Amino acid sequence: MLQMLSQMNSLSDQGSELHGALKLHVSPAPVELLGRCAISLACQMNRLVAQRHLCLYERLQLLIDEQGSTETLN
């Protein structure tokens, strides 16, 4: 990835002489850190959702308990 960014930076240097384009800055560490934070936040949110919601088996068990039989679930 660093090679690709450095190649893009060198292409940008060449193009800036012709087109006035801005140089690209190589900063892989902040990008990598943001990716980790987003993934850990998604994992935490998934855990919270899993803890607060009933699974399918628990929902079916509640239906059976409320209706008294499984005849209407067929």
User: Each residue of 23-58: pLDDT tens digit?
Assistant: 666 665 555 555 566 677 778 888 888 777 777 888
pLDDT level of residue 67 (50, 70, 90 thresholds):
confident
Contacts of 13 (CB under 8 A, 6+ apart): 23
Whether the predicted model's global pTM rises above the 0.75 cut: no
Residue 74: inside a domain, yes or no? Answer: no
Q: Is-contact 6 24, C-beta < 8 A?
A: no
- Are 34 and 25 spatial neighbours (Cβ–Cβ below 8 Å)? no
φ, ψ of residue 69 in degrees (nearest 5)? -155, 170
- How many domains, the chain? 1
Instruction: Decide if 57 is inside a domain.
Output: yes
Q: Which residue segment(s) compose the domain that 44 sits in?
A: 2-69
**Of 37, 73, 32, the residue nearest 56 (C-alpha):** 73
